[in-house]
A and B are shown apart, each in its own frame.
Chain A
Amino acid sequence: QQQVKQSPQSLIVQKGGISIINCAYENTAFDYFPWYQQFPGKGPALLIAIRPDVSEKKEGRFTISFNKSAKQFSLHIMDSQPGDSATYFCAATGTYKYIFGTGTRLKVLA
């Protein structure tokens, strides 16, 4: 009930391509769905987040798609750049819980 399943574990994309990372959750009480980006040696930092009352949120090249009925959400990175190479974590939060997925290592080839 408290898990957030994230896939794929790793992803290699050509520069300019689209990176897609998927997450699924079980607990319908979750009400905030952020994505975090982590570079080596650093703590995770918020990239973009969505609440369940909307189905999509876009900020620059980053878009979250949210499917409440399927309990799934995904991160799309358009025009992927080498600087986007990092580990990405989805998360789902609710009362007293802030649960992270297992992470996706993204490598964007120049």
Chain B
Amino acid sequence: DAGVIQSPRHEVTEMGQEVTLRCKPISGHNSLFWYRQTMMRGLELLIYFNNNVPIDDSGMPEDRFSAKMPNASFSTLKIQPSEPRDSAVYFCASSLQGTNTEAFFGQGTRLTVV
């Protein structure tokens, strides 16, 4: 398996634009996580899906952020409108069964909002 695949690897956008980050989890995994990593705040859990259903989105910073998982092999994280303070590395991770097991991370998307 190729692991968790995220795209794009790098994204530079202007403030106010819509940004969509994409994730393909490992085949057969039923849990998916979106994290945001910054120097100041470390790895923050944004949202957790189990069997394609959003279970906990309490980490989503505000209404500008939304995430979907239309099927078991694809998820998106959308920011609309984007702001400079959204600049960070966004990671997607998947696990075989819930939260009490290993999470496999993608390579991340480095987002820069200018």
Could you tell me which A residues sit within 8 Å of B by CB distance? 31-32, 34, 41-46, 49, 89, 93-103
Contact = CB atoms under 8 A, between A and B. Distances in A.
Contacts, number: 55
Contacts of A41: 107
A86 to B, nearest CB: 14
15 contacts: A32-B101, A34-B103, A42-B107, A43-B105, A45-B105, A94-B100, A96-B55, A96-B56, A96-B99, A97-B99, A98-B48, A100-B35, A100-B43, A102-B42, A103-B43
Given A43-B91, A43-B93, A98 B106 contact: no
B108 interface: yes
Q: How large is the interface on B (under 10, 10 to 19, 20 to 34, 35 or more residues)?
A: 20 to 34
Interface of B: 4, 33, 35, 41-43, 45, 48, 50, 55-56, 91, 93, 99-108
Contacts of A100: 35, 42-43, 45
A103 B44 CA distance: 11
A44 B91 CA distance: 9
Contact of B33 (A42, A98, A102): A98
Given A43-B105, A49-B102, A97 B43 contact: no
A43 B104 CA distance: 9
Nearest to B39: A103
A66 to B, nearest CB: 15
Contact of B106 (A43, A89, A102): A43
